[in-house]
């Protein structure tokens, strides 16, 4: 019997794994999936720039392989999921509010103590995303693609753009409980007109960069099914 191939899925946090584990396993049957939890947004991590983000991502992949029984030849592809966090909004949609102790998101604006900090964050994030979008392979020619939740995972999966941190795992568990054994329900959900962005990979990314779309409730996650010819 041929050895199963591994789909390596790079995620920002544990709530992403909890929410999507069952559904992603259903997408990639009969292959296996391996989650790589970065515990941060690699596109905004300190000292990660457009000049080194590719190498930083390769380091993450190499580290993950180094602590697993898998070899690079076992990896079928690398899938990267990211939150948009309003990375492409114009500066007029960033509101300075000295009472804020964090970035606060809505579908029309980002509020923060320092407007300059948001502008700087968005510049770094968008520049790094452009580098990743220019890749179709990474590390020894492994297939690579990056997909998004906008404004973030909780926004797409639960219509809660600014969910409290202490509620994220509970929300994730609820989503997985609902769809782990209901793959048809999951497909219906991610193809919903409420969140689906029409177009191919490039077109869905061009869409999310326009206006305030990177704050609104959109995702191109359904393309994972298109690529696996699951309809």
Q: Do the beta carbons of residue 96 and residue 107 sit within 8 Å?
A: no
d(CA 181, CA 179): 5
Q: Do the beta carbons of residue 42 and residue 52 sit within 8 Å?
A: no
Q: Which of 149, 20, 13, 166 is nearest to 86 (CA)?
A: 149
**Average pLDDT, integer, range 30-50:** 96
Q: Would the pLDDT of 3 be above 90? A: no
The DSSP letter of residue 196 is B
Q: Would the pLDDT of 1 be above 70? A: no
Six-digit token pair at 64?
């993950």
**Average pLDDT, integer, range 162-186:** 97
**Average pLDDT, integer, range 111-132:** 98
Alpha-carbon dihedral angle through residues 181, 41, 138, 30, given to the nearest 10 degrees:
-10
Please, what is the average pLDDT of the chain? 96
**Average pLDDT, integer, range 48-65:** 97
Six-digit token pair at 103?
């970035």
4 pLDDT band, cuts 50/70/90, is confident
Pairing of strands 218-219, 142-150: antiparallel
Output the pLDDT for position 60: 96
CA atoms within 13 A of residue 98's CA, in its CB half-sphere: 0
231 pLDDT band, cuts 50/70/90, is confident
Output the pLDDT for position 20: 98
**Average pLDDT, integer, range 208-230:** 97
Q: Which of 103, 56, 228, 85 is nearest to 156 (CA)?
A: 85
**Average pLDDT, integer, range 43-49:** 96
**pLDDT > 70: percent of the chain:** 99
Rg (CA), the chain: 17
Q: What is the DSSP string of 162-212?
A: T--GGGHHHHHHHHHHHHTT-HHHHHHHHT-TTTBPPS-HHHHHHHHTSTT
Output the pLDDT for position 19: 98
Q: Would the pLDDT of 2 be above 70? A: no
Distance of CA 146 to the CA centre of its chain: 7
**Tens-digit pLDDT profile for residues 8-28:** 999 999 999 999 999 999 999
Buried b (16+ CB within 10 A) or exposed e, 146-155: bbbbbbbbbb
Residue 45 main-chain phi, psi, to 5 deg:
-65, 145
Distance of CA 48 to the CA centre of its chain: 17
**Tens-digit pLDDT profile for residues 63-111:** 999 999 999 999 999 999 999 999 999 999 999 999 999 999 999 999 9
Q: Which residues contact residue 84 at a Cβ distance below 8 angstroms, ignoring those fewer than 6 apart?
A: 148, 149, 150, 151, 152, 208, 214, 215
Q: Which residues contact residue 96 at a Cβ distance below 8 angstroms, ignoring those fewer than 6 apart?
A: 111, 112, 113, 114, 115
Q: Would the pLDDT of 132 be above 60? A: yes
| Host H or E run for residue 32 | strand 32-37
């Amino acid at each position: 019997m041929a050895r199963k191939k591994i789909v390596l899925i790079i995620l920002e946090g544990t709530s992403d794994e909890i929410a999507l584990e069952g559904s992603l396993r259903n997408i990639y049957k009969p292959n296996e999936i391996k989650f790589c939890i970065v515990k941060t947004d690699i596109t905004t991590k300190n000292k990660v720039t457009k000049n080194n983000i590719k190498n930083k991502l390769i380091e993450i992949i190499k580290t993950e392989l180094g602590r697993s029984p898998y070899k690079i030849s076992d990896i079928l592809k690398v899938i990267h999921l990211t939150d948009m966090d309003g990375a492409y909004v114009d500066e007029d949609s960033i509101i300075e509010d000295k009472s804020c102790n964090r970035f606060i998101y809505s579908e029309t604006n980002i509020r923060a103590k320092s407007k300059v900090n948001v502008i700087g964050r968005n510049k770094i994030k968008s520049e790094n995303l452009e580098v990743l979008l220019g890749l179709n392979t990474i590390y020894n020619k492994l297939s690579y693609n990056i997909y998004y939740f906008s404004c973030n995972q909780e926004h797409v999966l639960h219509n809660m753009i600014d969910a409290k941190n202490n509620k994220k795992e509970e929300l994730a568990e609820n989503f997985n409980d609902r769809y782990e054994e209901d793959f048809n329900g999951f497909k219906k959900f991610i193809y919903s007109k409420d969140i689906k962005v029409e177009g191919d990979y490039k077109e869905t990314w061009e869409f999310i960069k326009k206006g305030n779309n990177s704050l609104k409730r959109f995702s191109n996650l359904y393309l994972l099914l298109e690529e696996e010819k699951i309809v």
